[in-house]
Amino acid sequence: MTVRTTASRATFSAPATPATAPKAKANAVAPRVAAASTALTAPPAGLGKGDSGAKVKQLQQGLVKLGYLTQAQMNTGTGSFGPATEAAVKKFQGDHKVPTTGYYGEQTAAALKKALAKPTTTPPPTQPGKFTKPAVISAPSPNCDSRNGADIDTIVLHHTGTNNGAGDMAWMRNPDSKVSANYMLDRDGKIYQLVGDSKRAWHAGKSELHGVPTDVNARSIGIEIVNDGSGKTAFTDAQYKALTQLVGYLKQEYKVPANNILGHKDVAVPKGRKDDPAANFDWARLRKGIGG
C-alpha cells in the first residue's frame, strides 16, 4: 500500500612443548589482528560528485552495508562518485538529519562513522528455526475493526510510498486517512505496532488470495516498510534484519504457509492496481532468513 499520494566449533590442539609455545602464542593473536583490519570504517570527509579513488570506494562500501546503495549499483561505478552514489548519500543524509546536499562533508562523515560502528541489534532466534517476537514500539491507530472470527493465515508486505517514516505513521494514525497496517518498519529498523494482531487493519483494499476473492484484511497481518517504492531506493540492511525476525515470528506464531507470505501487488484487485513492495525488494533474502 502506498499510504500517501504526492533484510561454536570445538578445536583440539596438542600440548605445546617449551620450544614451540612462543610460536603457538603468536599464532593465537593473528586471527584477532586480521579481523580488526577488515572492519569497515567511514572515509575522511571531502568527497563529492566527480571524485574517484579508494576513498570513494570505501564510502560506497559503507553505503552498501547500510542499505543505501545496492551492490549492483556499486559494481557499475566502483570508486567513482556518480549519480547513484550522490543519491545514496542524500538518502543517508535525510535519514540521519544531515543537510541533503549529496556532498560527503564533515557532518555526513561523522554520521556515517557512528552508523557503521553500531553493533547488530536484532536478536538471533533462540533456537534454530525458532523466532521470538522482536521489540516493537506501540503507536496505536484507530483505523481498524474486528476480524469477525477469521484466522490469520496470510502476511502482506507493502512499501509506504515515501522515505519519511514519521509522516507515514502520522498518516496511518489519522482517522481521515482510513488506512493502517498492523506494523510499520522504519528506515532504521525500528518496528512500530499500529494495530494489534487480533484486529483487522485496513491495508489491502479490494483483494484476492491466489485468484480467489476474499477479505484479505480479515485474515492477514499487514506490514508497511518505509520506502518510496521507486525501485531505486534500497531497503536498508536494518529493515531486512528486523523484517526477517518479525515475519519469522508471525509465520511461526500463526502457522502461515510460505506461499501466503505475499506482496500487496500479489493480492490487489484488479491486477496491476498496486506494485508494492518495490521491484528491488529482496524476496530471496527474506525467504532464506525465515526458512522458506
Could you tell me the mean pLDDT of each successive run of 10 residues in the chain, 292 residues long?
43 34 36 48 94 93 84 84 88 86 94 83 52 95 96 98 97 97 97 97 96 96 97 96 97 95 96 95 95 80
Is the Cβ–Cβ distance between 101 and 93 less than 8 Å? yes
Between CA 138 and CA 209 the distance in angstroms is 29
Angle between helices 283-290 and 237-254 (to 10 degrees): 50
Instruction: Report the first-to-last Cα separation within the chain, whole angstroms.
Output: 24
Q: Domain range spanning residue 182?
A: 137-290
Residue type, 80: S
pLDDT at position 76: 82
Classify residue 219: in a domain, yes or no: yes
Residues 144, 111: one domain?
no
Classify residue 218: in a domain, yes or no: yes
Nearest to 103 by CA among 149, 48, 58: 48
Residues 75, 155: one domain?
no
At which of 117, 146, 161 does a domain end? 117
Cis peptide before 277 (omega within 30 of 0): yes
Is the Cβ–Cβ distance between 219 and 268 less than 8 Å? no
Residues 202, 113: one domain?
no
pLDDT at position 17: 35
Q: How many domains does the chain have?
A: 2
Cis peptide before 270 (omega within 30 of 0): yes
Classify residue 2: in a domain, yes or no: no
Between CA 243 and CA 159 the distance in angstroms is 12
Classify residue 91: in a domain, yes or no: yes
Is the Cβ–Cβ distance between 264 and 154 less than 8 Å? no
pLDDT at position 38: 61
224 is catalytic: yes
Residues 146, 280: one domain?
yes
Classify residue 265: in a domain, yes or no: yes
Residues 241, 208: one domain?
yes
Classify residue 189: in a domain, yes or no: yes
Residues 177, 281: one domain?
yes
pTM to 2 decimal places: 0.61
The domain spanning residue 201 has which CATH number?
3.40.80.10
Classify residue 130: in a domain, yes or no: no
The domain spanning residue 100 has which CATH number?
1.10.101
Classify residue 5: in a domain, yes or no: no
pLDDT at position 66: 85
φ, ψ (nearest 5 deg) of residue 47: -120, 140
Q: Which of 106, 208, 224, 253 is catalytic?
A: 224
Residues 80, 222: one domain?
no
pLDDT at position 5: 41
Residues 144, 220: one domain?
yes
Residues 265, 207: one domain?
yes
